[in-house]
Structure 1
Amino acid sequence: MSTQKTVRQPADEIEENSLRIGKDKAEQIIDALNTDLANSYVLYHQLKKHHWTVEGSEFLDLHEFLEEAYEHAEEGADVIAERAQALGGVPVSGPSNLEERATVEFEGEDVYDIRTAFENDLEMYGEIIEGMREHIQLANNLGDYATEEILREILVHVEEDAHHIEHYLEDDTLVLESATK
């Protein structure tokens, strides 16, 4: 085990970067990226919970979809964190820091029926989509076209997954209602 205790970079400090984006602009972008990062992990944990707890006749399809969706959230979070670091920042990390930083709220530990769970997910996706669009515009306005492109690519997956959830919430289904109701 290492005995090194030197802090290389305090979490709240921005270092110069080799991307030639000034510290004042980088600070604004890193702040936005850390919000997106925190939101991604809140979404990840909620989707993971639904993956674990989904039941019913459509279990396998929903279980597999939720796995893909939480993987997309985690992949996007990784790219966002690496970009924040490249800009001279420290990616937000740790459960309490992520929760504090997020603008979306985890639904809690209770287990809901899948329709309610997906409604909660769709609401969270909507809030994340709106925030990411604002951050894409911010990056563009500050001349950070690479961050703009990175967020656009992540947004495509976020919107696709939200759209799939929207389809799952439609009333049309092949599953028949139980005759005992």
Structure 2
Amino acid sequence: MTKVKSASIAPELDTPTDLPQQSVDKISATLNTLLADAFALYLKTKNFHWHVSGRHFRDYHLLLDEQSEQIFATTDALAERVRKVGGVTLRSIGHIAKLQTIEDNNEDYVPPREMLRELMNDNKKMAAAMRKAHKIVDDCEDAASAGLLENFIDETERRTWFLFEASRQESSNET
């Protein structure tokens, strides 16, 4: 089967693949949206890490730092996966802003429990998006992307769980 190349890919970036161009386009679009959301969630998690306050400061500060590192670690793997299948990936903050579905939080102050709950819901949204992406890459017979997403879904569910439990602790300890 001869692959029809997309006109938008520079010849120097035209990675060879056995996937049909339609699959490359679907996989790239799906993974690039996840990548944009990963950057948005990373920055929001860091924002809350930098601005958390209160009696659980140390615990939350460390938790959010750990989670932001984990989220950031997914970005390179997602972008490289797009390139491996012959697609092109994000190029700028503006490109991220166009694709992200995770909403920014620009508030001057967010109470710690609300921070945790917002991040918990964002991680739940991210896991749901990864499941949808898994179906798309699976339909395109891209087992490597599917495997990558399976690991990321598990990590995202773990973050959701930790944020849920930490926000319950906050709620039950306040008088």
TM-score under structure 1 normalisation? 0.84
Equivalent positions of 1:100-119 (< 5 A) are 100-119=98-117
Shift >6 Å, 4+ stretches: none
Give the structure 2 partner of residue 142 of structure 1.
140
- Which residue, out of 26, 41, 44, partners 1:43? 41
For the residues of structure 1 that align with 2:15 and 2:147, how far apart are their CA atoms? 18
131-140 or 84-93: which moved more? 84-93
User: Secondary structure in 1 aligned to 2:101?
Assistant: coil
**1-side partners of 2:14 and 2:59: how far apart?**
47
| 2:9 alignment partner in structure 1 | 13
Q: Which ranges in structure 2 are unaligned for 5 or more consecutive residues?
A: 1-5
User: C-alpha distance in 1, partners of 2:91/2:107?
Assistant: 21
**1:148–1:45 Cα change, 3 Å:** same
Change (3 A) 1:172 1:75: closer
Q: State how far apart, in whole Å, the 2-side matches of 1:86 and 1:25 are.
A: 13
Larger Rg: 1
Q: Could you say what the CA RMSD is over the residues aligned between the two structures, in angstroms?
A: 2.2
User: Aligned AA for 1:169?
Assistant: S
> Corresponding residue for 1:66?
64
CA contact (8 A) 2:121 2:160 kept: no
Deviation at 1:176, TM superposition (A): 6.0
Paired residues of 1:50 and 1:117 also in contact (CA < 8 A): yes
Partner residue in 1 for 2:3: none
Distance 1:146-1:78 versus aligned 2 partners, 3 A rule: same
Amino acid at match of 2:114: T
SS in 2 for 1:80: helix
Aligned partner of 2:159 in structure 1 is: 161
Distance 1:22 1:75 in 2: 29
Gaps of 5+ in 1: 1-9
Task: Give a deviation string over 1:22-72, Cα, whole Å, max 9, x none.
Answer: 211011000000000000000000000011011112111111110110011
- TM-score normalised per structure 2: 0.87
